[in-house]
Amino acid sequence: MYKILSKRTLGPSIREYVVEAPDVAKAAKAGQFIVLRLHERGERIPLTMVDTNTETGGVTLVVQEVGKSTREMGDTFHEGDSILDFAGPLGEATEIENFGTVVCVGGGLGIAPLYPIARDLHKAGNKVIGIIGARNEELLFYEDEMRAVCDELIVMTDDGSYGRGGFVNGPLTEILEAGKEKVERVWAIGPAIMMKVCAEATRPFGVKTIVSLNSVMIDGTGMCGGCRVEVGGAAKFACVDGPEFDGHEVDFDLLMSRQRYYHEEESCSMDQYLKEGATS
């Protein structure tokens, strides 16, 4: 059992949990994820780690309540409660070195996994330009955290309710077009469509763009192959070959199609949950 050390709400249906898993906290690196299972009937949920604390043994996760399991987690798992299963770290760590100037783009919940990458890139001596965006002000989180690890931070909302209005790819293109300084590498993490658009924005400039893929997976350790994606024409497993890949090589349309495969069942599960309440 893995105890929830703290829980706080970051926005509507967005919560941050710190879960006690000392061995995972000790081994974890930026870019890696864990898989958790709430209870005996639960599914295995992959979540990217946001932060770790080797003293408290805490692993920080940010969860958006988009489906039945994440909703149930938000409704019924509180500080002091325990999660049944928690395994990690999983996946390959982010390649961190001093590249020079880098741009870190986070869209929606993607800001959470982006944060430790920006932090470590900054620590490694890079000039980090951050661009974070959300649909509206309410859904934006981690602005202060990101500001602390970025040399410049641009904040966007789709509806203009906070920061600049528009999508995150706008300022990304502006920076590349202005050409004031050479951008060595870009990270773009968020919904598949946002990563696709960002990868298209950097392609004409030939700037390597790393994306983090959240395909459907069961075990997260290379066994089911459900998370397979096509990268540069070859099949790759997001769980063990990724989750980060070269965005210019990823077949995003395939990724999005595969992500949609279980939508019907996901709604069915949610309906059942809303009708009957938690199963735990």
Partner 1 sequence: MIREKQVPMREQDPAVRAKNFDEVPFGYTPDEAAEEAARCLQCPKAPCVAGCPVGIDIPGFIGHVKEKNFAEAVKVLKSSNALPAVCGRVCPQENQCQGVCTVGIRFEPVAIGRLERFCADWEAENERCCPEIAPDTGKQVAIIGAGPAGLTAAGELRKMGHAVTVFELLHVAGGVLMYGIPEFRLPKAIVQREIDALVDMGVEIRVNEVIGQVKTVDELLGDGFDAVFVGTGAGLPRFLGIPGEHLNGVYSANEFLTRANLMKAYLFPEYDTPIKVGRRVATIGGGNVAMDASRTALRLGAEASLIIYRRSEEELPARAEEIHHAKEEGVDFNLLRNPVEFLGKDGQLVGVRCIKMELGEPDDSGRRRPVPIEGSEFDIEVDAAVIAVGNGPHPLVPQSTPDMELNRWGNIVADDVTGQTSKQGVFAGGDIVTGAATVIEAMGAGKRSAAAIHKYLMNGTAYGLRLCGVDHKRRSNRPGTAVRSRADS
Which residues are 20's β-sheet partners?
Answer: 58
Task: Rule CB under 8 A: choose which of 87, 138, 163, 200 binds partner 1.
Answer: 87
Token code pair at residue 129: 């330009």
Binding flag, residue 119, partner 1 (CB under 8 A)? no
Q: Is 204 left (phi over 0), alpha (psi -120 to 50) or beta?
A: alpha
How many CA atoms, within 13 angstroms, populate the side-chain half-sphere of residue 213?
37
Binding flag, residue 249, partner 1 (CB under 8 A)? no
Name residues contacting partner 1, limited to 54-83 (CB under 8 A): 68-69
How distant is the alpha carbon of residue 85 from its chain centre? 20
Nearer to partner 1, 87 or 193 (CB): 87
Task: Rule CB under 8 A: choose which of 80, 222, 232, 277 binds partner 1.
Answer: 222
Give strand ranges (E) for the chain.
Answer: 2-11, 14-20, 33-37, 45-53, 58-64, 82-83, 85-90, 101-107, 127-134, 152-157, 164-165, 183-189, 208-212, 228-231, 234-237, 244-246
H or E stretch covering 71: helix 68-76
For residues 7 and 18, give the distance between their C-alpha atoms in angstroms, rounded to a whole number: 6
Backbone angles phi, psi at 161, to 5 degrees: -70, -15
Binding flag, residue 15, partner 1 (CB under 8 A)? no
Nearer to partner 1, 22 or 170 (CB): 22
Nearer to partner 1, 177 or 265 (CB): 265
Give helix then strand counts, H and E, for the chain.
8, 16
For residues 128 and 118, give the distance between their C-alpha atoms in angstroms, rounded to a whole number: 7
Least distance (Å) between residue 261 CB and partner 1: 4
Binding flag, residue 37, partner 1 (CB under 8 A)? yes
Give strand ranges (E) for 135-271.
Answer: 152-157, 164-165, 183-189, 208-212, 228-231, 234-237, 244-246
Nearer to partner 1, 122 or 228 (CB): 228
Least distance (Å) between residue 6 CB and partner 1: 21
Task: Rule CB under 8 A: choose which of 3, 11, 44, 193 binds partner 1.
Answer: 44
Binding flag, residue 27, partner 1 (CB under 8 A)? yes
Task: Rule CB under 8 A: choose which of 4, 7, 16, 42 binds partner 1.
Answer: 42
Task: Rule CB under 8 A: choose which of 138, 147, 164, 218 binds partner 1.
Answer: 218
Task: Rule CB under 8 A: choose which of 225, 232, 246, 274 binds partner 1.
Answer: 225
Nearer to partner 1, 1 or 178 (CB): 1
Q: Which stretch binds partner 1 (CB under 8 A): 36-44, 114-122, 181-189, 197-205?
A: 36-44
Residues at the contact surface with partner 1, assessed by CB under 8 A:
23-24, 27, 32, 37, 41-44, 68-69, 84-90, 218-219, 221-226, 228-230, 234-237, 240-241, 254, 257-258, 260-262, 265-266, 268-269, 272, 279
